[in-house]
Amino acid sequence: MTDRDARLRVFHLARLATTLATRAYGPPGSAHPVFDPGDIRAFRAAFVQVEFEDPFRVTASESGVDFTVCGHLIGHIDADGAVRLARDGKFAAALPHVLAPSNTRTLAELAYQELRARLRDAYEARTGHLLIHDDTCGGYFHSRVRALRGLATRAVKRFCSCIAPEALAVLRRAQLAGVQHGCLVELVTGRFGLEWTQAIRAYPVLINWAFDPGVPLGIVDCVQSRAPLVPALANHFQITPAEVRRFRGLTPQRCGRNPGRGALRLILDLPPHLRPMRRRDWQAAFTLHCNLFSAFANTRHLVGNRQPLARTLTQGIKTPLGDLSVIEGLRHLNDPVVSIVSLGRQGGLILERLMQMTVQQMAAFSAQWHAESARVTQLARAEAARMLQVEGWDGALPSPVIHLPGDIVVTELTSPGQLVDEGAMQDHCVASYVGDCYVGRCRVLSVRCSSTGARTTAELVQRKVGARRVIVLAQHYGRSNEAPPPALDRALQALVRDLNAGAVTAWPRLDDPTEHTSWNSIQRRLEPWLLRRFGLDVDLAAAA
């Protein structure tokens, strides 16, 4: 950098420091600057001092190549080409190995936090006073992290260019994507690099998955002693050697992240014509297992550890799993299963029959249950004449209606009648949250955009973080529990940040004067429908 370039950079940094300390730098409506120094001159000098230095450095010496972030060593390549990665300290979560896509993002965020801490220390050293920072001004944080991410990307590329090309190619084939894979980087570039290169070339996806939860010592010993690899992989994943060979040559780029042994078992049990070939087929298989595991996780006391069988689920299916839209429809299967479990012994019989259904039949049942649940909630609305007059609860917002930028209006729902109306309008079960609102467990917001007509419903809860109480956005859904529009979600996240900027007090616990719109009441109303739907005798069930 020439003297002229250095002077220009100092000038621009000084101007930016003035902007950050005197004007709001963030989303429209921000009321405060990012930093609020008492001495603007001292802040400018401290800001230039801290921001002038490049936080990412890759330096070569006789001993090798070092990668440092804000002075913290996180990676070293010795003269023999072996890689050593730092495993402790705050930067251990962002090791620059082959390069998980999230590495540069994480490095940028960590570097920003380090630079902000240095700025605070430099200012306090000059003035003896604290430097106040407004965490709600997210605009500067995001723009600064984007700039640092570009610097981090270039530094990571420089560091990786010093790794042997053969080792780098095989590590990229394994698509290492987490801190737990750091030891594998060291193995591939170390003394047994040839053995590990051969193993990864043969089974890149299984090697990747094996290292996901930790370091599999059995596989490490097998590779480094040049013992047969297939039996070691079969023992680790608890599958047969023949099933291991089905993964030969498959890469994580096609199969994705580690699905877990349950999903792996479901995939291996699929009929031959449904075995995943494309990336979206693998993703659909993982989604299917995730939805089913989530739905049946709490049914062990009724049906043991059983899960639906792959061949039963896919009976009659001829198209690849990635082309089945009904798999995503099982995302809400958990709700009807919870309703079934509440029936006790009769629920166990229903679960047995549910596990004999195909994917399409399960999705159809889930849709029918949600439609019946909405109908029952509407019946509760007809009984809510007295409930509409019941006194509500105090809100979490400073005013019942808040207008946000982008024609977005947030209305807090503070009475049972409002929750019932919202549930009827949005076709979901928010009416069952009346009891939770009365006892102070949550608060409910209705979010609307005047220009687009989009409407969503959100649930706020409180959490303890140390001695401080904070508000958290627990749920945010559109009509029929669809994903919310990004603009409304961003606006709501910003509102939550504003709420947490001040003191948060516990919501009061009140007596709940309503019962017929509670979750338990709605479940009781759904019991006859469930029993009839699966051909069970309603009268016998009631007698039992």
pLDDT-derived band at 4, boundaries 50, 70, 90 = confident
Q: Kindly tell me if the per-residue pLDDT of 387 is higher than 80.
A: no
Q: Kindly tell me if the per-residue pLDDT of 252 is higher than 70.
A: yes
Q: Kindly tell me if the per-residue pLDDT of 274 is higher than 70.
A: yes
Provide the 10 A C-beta neighbour count for residue 270.
19
Which has the minimum average pLDDT: 131-135, 165-169, 385-389? 385-389
Q: Could you give the CA distance from residue 482 to residue 426 in angstroms, rounded to a whole number?
A: 10
What is the average per-residue pLDDT within 492-517?
A: 82
Q: What is the pLDDT of residue 385?
A: 47
Q: What is the pLDDT of residue 55?
A: 92
Q: What is the pLDDT of residue 515?
A: 62
pLDDT-derived band at 542, boundaries 50, 70, 90 = very low
Q: What is the pLDDT of residue 85?
A: 82
Q: What is the pLDDT of residue 540?
A: 45
Q: What is the pLDDT of residue 362?
A: 94
What is the average per-residue pLDDT within 366-375?
A: 88
Q: Kindly tell me if the per-residue pLDDT of 44 is higher than 60.
A: yes
Q: What is the pLDDT of residue 420?
A: 80
Average pLDDT, the chain: 86
Q: What is the pLDDT of residue 445?
A: 94
Q: Kindly tell me if the per-residue pLDDT of 539 is higher than 70.
A: no
Report residue 169 as tokens: 């190619």
Q: What is the pLDDT of residue 427?
A: 81
Provide the 10 A C-beta neighbour count for residue 1.
9
Say what percent of the chain tops pLDDT 90. 37
Q: E strands, 301-346, where?
A: none
Please tell me whether residue 317 adopts helix, strand or coil conformation: coil
Q: Which of 48, 55, 56 is nearest to 7 (CA)?
A: 48
Question: Residues 420, 387: contact at Cβ < 8 Å?
Answer: yes
Q: Kindly tell me if the per-residue pLDDT of 101 is higher than 60.
A: no
Q: Which of 240, 244, 238, 166 is nearest to 205 (CA)?
A: 244
Q: Please return the burial class of 47, using the count of CB atoms within 10 Å of its CB with bins 0-12, 13-18 and 19+.
A: buried
Report residue 525 as tokens: 């109303």
What is the average per-residue pLDDT within 158-171?
A: 88
Q: Kindly tell me if the per-residue pLDDT of 167 is higher than 80.
A: yes
Q: What is the pLDDT of residue 544?
A: 44
What is the average per-residue pLDDT within 75-79?
A: 89
DSSP state of 130: P
CA-to-CA dists, residue 470 to 402, 430, 433, 439, 442, angstroms: 20, 22, 20, 18, 12
Ordered DSSP codes for 349-366: HHHHHHTTS-HHHHHHHH
What is the average per-residue pLDDT within 230-251?
A: 94
Say what percent of the chain tops pLDDT 70. 89
Q: Which of 281, 235, 105 is nearest to 177 (CA)?
A: 105
Q: Kindly tell me if the per-residue pLDDT of 73 is higher than 70.
A: yes
What is the average per-residue pLDDT within 430-445?
A: 87
pLDDT-derived band at 461, boundaries 50, 70, 90 = very high
DSSP state of 504: -
pLDDT-derived band at 543, boundaries 50, 70, 90 = very low
Question: Residues 436, 416: contact at Cβ < 8 Å?
Answer: no
What is the average per-residue pLDDT within 504-510?
A: 89
Half-sphere exposure of 377 (CA within 13 A, CB side): 26
